[in-house]
Chains A and B, each alone.
Chain A
Amino acid sequence: MNAPINIAGLLKKTKDVFNFHGGVRLPEHKAQSNQLPIGQLPLPDQLVLPLRQHIGIMPKVRVAVGDHVLKGQLIAEAEGSVSAAIHAPTSGTIAAIADAVLPHPSGLPDRCITITPDGNDTWIERHPQDWRKGDVNTLVNSLRLSGIVGLGGAAFPTQIKLRSTRSPIHTLVINAAECEPYITCDDMLMRERYDQVVHGIEVAQRLLAAKNIMIGIEDNKPEAIKAMQAAVENTGIQVKVVPTVYPSGDARRLVYLVLGKEVPQNKRSTEFGVQVFNVATVLALYRYFEFGEPAISRIVSMTGNVNQAQNFEVLFGTPLRHLVKAAGGAKADTSHYIMGGPMMGFNLPSEDVPITKSANCIIAASSTLFEPPPPSMPCIRCSRCADACPVSLQPQELYWFAKSDNFEKAQDYNLFDCIECGACSYVCPSDIPLVQYYRYAKSEVIALDKAQEAADLARERNEFRLARIEREKQERTAKHAARAQGAKVAKAAGNSGSKPAATDKQAAIAAAIARAKVQKETDSAAPKNTTEMSAATKAEIAETDSRRVAAGLTEEKSPAADGDKQAKIVAAIARAKAQKADVSKMSVSGDDKTTKPVVDADKQAKIDAAIKQAKVAKAEAGKEKTSGNNDGQLMVDAEKQAKIDAAIKRAKAAKFAALTAKNKEDN
């Protein structure tokens, strides 16, 4: 019957590991640091504990400068859902709570708690918990006080990964692949503390109620594999030996390697019942429950250009300098330090940075150990990067789009699926810093998205505002309408009733008075002397006005020869004009007697205006003395405008003065 299908199915079932596409084989450099057992460091003089050692919200400081703290004492408390507590790694005094340089790619300082150890290393009272029988929820909730985060490098608070999820976890994958070169901290951990690792796995198994447990270890760690295989005997835990292909330690790649399942895009493995923990993390869980020890130290590989590469158990907050010294010191040509592996690690800003929860490895670097890359050549589309990409992306296309700021297209080509493992750059014949291009593109997209979000929000708010204004307007209209309706009703009621009639009458009287007042005002406001004028006289006024303006303009058209002279001329003209205006005004008003005081006021105003004008002109002339003909012309234009304005003002002032005088007289 269906023989071929059955055979295929059998083959699939018996397949032990599933190789993912791409990946690269790297020179390992692991033997350098895994020859010596895990070393212990003497207490440093000072411990600097950054508050932000994990992914998530900064914890809340629970101590003050000068406080004495004990080893394991909570000094910063987890805040919000995604956060992790921080504990004093040894007993001592809080020396400072201030900004210090962090081991972070940005090199920016951030808040840190500095402890000066007292040398006694006195533990606070510890509270072990029965993780085998205790209530799971209580145990998981207590992890909020443990400060444990993922020790593989991501530093995600572990408590969250253990909380019950919508889909129950059936498979627990322990990540012990340690695929980056140089790093051996997990290797040494498994070789020396395999029993605790197994207990740690049992803790996680209990808390998650997982049935299948697999430990994924790369085949370049035979001692660790042997140790773990012996330790898991009769526990049902499987040790899966995966090929040494970078990046097998990436959680999604490892899940595929051991289960043959691809974690769907934009989803977590927990959605199909698989949870992944780093091997050192589960050990920390065990120590927390079994001994009541919070996260205060980790194993760090100190390797590269040092005299004696080794793994050390390092208290969090230990300055890198201290660790380097323990490893026999850095060789003379050491140029800088890399935190993490050579594929995804980043350069540390100085030797003073503290060791944090995510520091799995420190590599002392020199130009011989890590040759500076040659200048980049153009992409020759050889597609080696595409062959190496563990996500099956097309790095050469992404590079092209990132380079040309074509972010939309980059997203079409799944930019955000890139895990920045660096395999593409590793194999690039043209030495193009591909990962940097992708990071740039990602950050730009995120920034643009944020800007878009902000713009959307602003638009929404504006639309809301407009809608509100419209609504209020309608409400007002409705209210008015309602009121008018009410008044009508009231009036109707008043007409029918006798009582409100009196008030109605009073209101009518008040209204009449008001009307009369308004009438009086408007009457007085209207220029009385012009209302009586004939059309001919009006025309004469207009003509005179226009002539006057024209005269002023023609006089002022001549370009300024000298600023001062010009100013003087302007002033003279202004004065002359003022006089002229007075004359014309007088002739207009016709009645000398009544206009006399008006003329005086008018005259004064005009003289003032003229002086002002002259001053302005003088200033302008002085400013533009050095400029040529064109500028002179411009100046003239400006003056012209100013004069016209002034003339208009004057005319208005005269009119007003005349009116006030007349009113006074009337009164």
Chain B
Amino acid sequence: MNRSPHITNAPSVSSIMLKVLLALLPGIFVYAWLYGGGILITLVLATATALGTEALMLKLRRRPVQPFLSDYSAVITAWLLALAIPPLAPWWLIVVGVAFAIIVAKQLYGGLGYNPFNPAMVGYAVLLISFPVIMTKWPAALSFAETKLSFMDQFHYIFSHALPANISMDAVTSATPLDYLKTQLKLNQSMDAIQVAPIFGVFGAKGSEFVALAYLAGGAFLWQQRIITWHLPTAFLGAIAAMAGLFWMIDPSQFANPVFHLFSGASIFAAFFILTDPISGPTTPKGKLYFAAGAGVITYLVRVYGGYPDGVAFAVIFMNICVPLIDMYTQPRVFGHKK
């Protein structure tokens, strides 16, 4: 066979995906430390579901199972979704979400490389729409909570929905700051008054702001490893900051400051791990800027005006639809063509 080039030097798909998983570890570590080991149970459940459904679908589609299971792309979807849902959600929630993500959002579209939407975000959106109450109930970070749940308590709660006798669910969970902010603002509370609530941290949500910092570190690793480029995170966070800054400058009593928006919700996590999914994202440098900026603007608008506390999933899915168009109109100038 005459195949040139005769040499290659590229990381394999598996090694790229493994590095993404590696980059998630600092965030997971901080997450588990702040919120308890329950997240690890969810991660295991998610991973098992992803591999199981992926193998099943590959079998049904008569595709080789082993090479596609060992590309780790299903595991990434599983982890991203597990980290996106509340840590004490019942076991079936993550199973349903991951199964939907893998079966419908990924395999039914043709598997790796062919899914037009970010599978984890499709799974998230389905769960959010189907089970809004569970999906918006976040436990307070353990380290700051008055009532603490042990790992075994969390384990029991995830599988049997039962808490120790002396603890009520309300004592453990609360609204997220983004959610709280929205409802309080509707009650005509002033921003200053709202932000003294214990769920607010130094610059974001109490506890989760540190998880966000850990994700930032993981993102920096991905950038350093040349797995992601600067375009997507910068444009996404830039757009959120710009939107938040603009509104905040107009009326600081009604709108939270940009730093709060950057470190609340899924901003950092999405900037480095969700938007950077290459398959469902644009490929041109300019396209990446448009895509991420668009996602940032929509995220902010959903946060402030929409019916859901955070808007990353909807923003990403909407921008996924635009990818072919973005790619088409952001073709770089070809060498020797007119400027």
Contacts of A413 in B (CB 8 A): 331
User: A348-384 interface mask toward B, CB cutoff 8 Å, 1 = contact, 0 = none?
Assistant: 0000000000000000010000100111011111111
Closest CB in chain B relative to A296 CB, distance in Å: 29
| Given A377-B71, A383-B283, CB of A427 within 8 Å of CB of B9 | yes
Contacting residues of chain A (377-393) with chain B, CB-CB under 8 angstroms: 377-384, 386, 390-393
Complex: A425 Cα to B2 Cα, angstroms = 14
The yes or no answer to A563 lying at the interface (CB within 8 A) is: no
Contacts of A346 in B (CB 8 A): 2, 4
Complex: A107 Cα to B70 Cα, angstroms = 39
Complex: A427 Cα to B13 Cα, angstroms = 11
Check A378 against B112 for contact (C-beta < 8 Å): yes
The yes or no answer to B197 lying at the interface (CB within 8 A) is: no
Closest CB in chain B relative to A96 CB, distance in Å: 28
Closest CB in chain B relative to A343 CB, distance in Å: 4
Contacting residues of chain A (247-304) with chain B, CB-CB under 8 angstroms: 252, 256, 262-265, 267
Contacts of A430 in B (CB 8 A): 13, 113
Check B13 against A380 for contact (C-beta < 8 Å): yes
Closest CB in chain B relative to A145 CB, distance in Å: 35
The yes or no answer to A26 lying at the interface (CB within 8 A) is: yes
Closest CB in chain B relative to A262 CB, distance in Å: 5
Instruction: Choose, from A32-40, A62-70, A431-439, A574-582, the stretch at the interface.
Output: A431-439
Check A344 against B284 for contact (C-beta < 8 Å): no
Check A21 against B335 for contact (C-beta < 8 Å): yes
Check A381 against B113 for contact (C-beta < 8 Å): yes
The yes or no answer to A422 lying at the interface (CB within 8 A) is: yes
Contacts of A417 in B (CB 8 A): 334-337
The one of B7, B71, B281, B334 that contacts A342, using a Cβ cutoff of 8 Å: B7
The yes or no answer to B332 lying at the interface (CB within 8 A) is: yes
Check A262 against B335 for contact (C-beta < 8 Å): yes
| Given A262-B336, A417-B335, CB of A382 within 8 Å of CB of B3 | no
User: B45-86 interface mask toward A, CB cutoff 8 Å, 1 = contact, 0 = none?
Assistant: 000000000000000000000010001010000000000000
The yes or no answer to A244 lying at the interface (CB within 8 A) is: no
Closest B residue to A20 by beta carbon equals: B335
| Given A377-B112, A378-B111, A384-B10, CB of A435 within 8 Å of CB of B335 | no
The yes or no answer to A140 lying at the interface (CB within 8 A) is: no
Complex: A428 Cα to B2 Cα, angstroms = 18
The one of A256, A381, A391, A393 that contacts B281, using a Cβ cutoff of 8 Å: A381
Contacts of A267 in B (CB 8 A): 336
User: A406-435 interface mask toward B, CB cutoff 8 Å, 1 = contact, 0 = none?
Assistant: 000000011001001010011111110101
Closest CB in chain B relative to A408 CB, distance in Å: 14
| Given A380-B112, A396-B283, CB of A373 within 8 Å of CB of B8 | yes
Contacts of B279 in A (CB 8 A): 380-381
Tally of contact residues, A, Cβ under 8 A:
56
User: B307-339 interface mask toward A, CB cutoff 8 Å, 1 = contact, 0 = none?
Assistant: 000000000000000000001000111111110
| Given A252-B336, A264-B336, CB of A433 within 8 Å of CB of B278 | no
Complex: A94 Cα to B117 Cα, angstroms = 69
The one of A265, A383, A426 that contacts B7, using a Cβ cutoff of 8 Å: A426
Contacts of B194 in A (CB 8 A): none
The yes or no answer to B220 lying at the interface (CB within 8 A) is: no
User: B269-310 interface mask toward A, CB cutoff 8 Å, 1 = contact, 0 = none?
Assistant: 000000000110101100000000000000000000000000
Check B335 against A345 for contact (C-beta < 8 Å): no
Tally of contact residues, B, Cβ under 8 A:
36
Check A344 against B4 for contact (C-beta < 8 Å): yes
Contacting residues of chain A (121-150) with chain B, CB-CB under 8 angstroms: none
The yes or no answer to A105 lying at the interface (CB within 8 A) is: yes
Check A265 against B337 for contact (C-beta < 8 Å): yes
Check B112 against A428 for contact (C-beta < 8 Å): no
Closest CB in chain A relative to B33 CB, distance in Å: 32
Contacts of A428 in B (CB 8 A): 8, 10
The yes or no answer to B166 lying at the interface (CB within 8 A) is: no
The yes or no answer to A394 lying at the interface (CB within 8 A) is: yes
The yes or no answer to A338 lying at the interface (CB within 8 A) is: yes
Check B4 against A435 for contact (C-beta < 8 Å): yes
Contacts of B281 in A (CB 8 A): 381
The yes or no answer to A27 lying at the interface (CB within 8 A) is: yes
The yes or no answer to B12 lying at the interface (CB within 8 A) is: yes
Contacts of A21 in B (CB 8 A): 332, 335
Closest B residue to A107 by beta carbon equals: B2
Closest CB in chain A relative to B113 CB, distance in Å: 3
Report whether over half of chain B's contact residues are helix, strand or loop; otherwise say mixed.
loop
The yes or no answer to A219 lying at the interface (CB within 8 A) is: no
Contacts of B67 in A (CB 8 A): 375, 377
The yes or no answer to A347 lying at the interface (CB within 8 A) is: yes
The yes or no answer to B6 lying at the interface (CB within 8 A) is: yes
Closest B residue to A344 by beta carbon equals: B4
Contacts of A556 in B (CB 8 A): none
The yes or no answer to A56 lying at the interface (CB within 8 A) is: no
Contacts of A343 in B (CB 8 A): 4-7
Complex: A375 Cα to B73 Cα, angstroms = 17
Closest A residue to B327 by beta carbon equals: A397
Contacts of B12 in A (CB 8 A): 374, 377, 429, 431
Complex: A26 Cα to B112 Cα, angstroms = 29
Closest A residue to B280 by beta carbon equals: A381
The yes or no answer to A168 lying at the interface (CB within 8 A) is: no
Complex: A434 Cα to B238 Cα, angstroms = 35
Complex: A382 Cα to B71 Cα, angstroms = 14
The yes or no answer to B175 lying at the interface (CB within 8 A) is: no
Closest CB in chain A relative to B17 CB, distance in Å: 9
The one of B3, B9, B15, B71 that contacts A433, using a Cβ cutoff of 8 Å: B3
Contacts of B4 in A (CB 8 A): 342-346, 420, 422, 425, 435
Closest B residue to A24 by beta carbon equals: B9
Closest B residue to A267 by beta carbon equals: B336
The yes or no answer to A181 lying at the interface (CB within 8 A) is: yes
Contacts of A393 in B (CB 8 A): 334
Contacts of A378 in B (CB 8 A): 111-114
Contacts of B163 in A (CB 8 A): none
The one of B278, B333, B336 that contacts A382, using a Cβ cutoff of 8 Å: B278
Complex: A123 Cα to B277 Cα, angstroms = 68
Complex: A338 Cα to B5 Cα, angstroms = 11
The yes or no answer to B16 lying at the interface (CB within 8 A) is: yes
Check A394 against B283 for contact (C-beta < 8 Å): yes
Closest CB in chain A relative to B187 CB, distance in Å: 46
Check B284 against A379 for contact (C-beta < 8 Å): no
Closest A residue to B332 by beta carbon equals: A392
Closest CB in chain A relative to B179 CB, distance in Å: 34
The one of A27, A342, A365, A382 that contacts B5, using a Cβ cutoff of 8 Å: A342
Closest A residue to B337 by beta carbon equals: A265
Closest CB in chain A relative to B168 CB, distance in Å: 46
Closest CB in chain B relative to A461 CB, distance in Å: 37
Closest CB in chain A relative to B273 CB, distance in Å: 15
Complex: A338 Cα to B7 Cα, angstroms = 12
Contacts of B71 in A (CB 8 A): 377
Contacting residues of chain B (131-150) with chain A, CB-CB under 8 angstroms: none
Residues of A within 8 A of B (CB): 20-21, 26-27, 105, 181, 252, 256, 262-265, 267, 338, 342-347, 365, 370, 373-375, 377-384, 386, 390-394, 396-397, 413-414, 417, 420, 422, 425-431, 433, 435-436
Interface pairs (9), CB distance under 8 Å: A105-B2, A344-B5, A345-B4, A375-B67, A380-B16, A380-B113, A382-B278, A391-B335, A392-B335
> 6 closest Cβ contacts across the A-B interface?
A378-B113, A422-B5, A383-B283, A265-B336, A343-B5, A342-B6
Given contacts A414-B337, A417-B336, 17 further A-B contacts (CB under 8 A): A27-B9, A256-B335, A342-B4, A343-B6, A345-B6, A378-B114, A380-B113, A386-B332, A391-B336, A394-B283, A422-B4, A425-B5, A428-B8, A430-B13, A430-B113, A431-B8, A431-B10
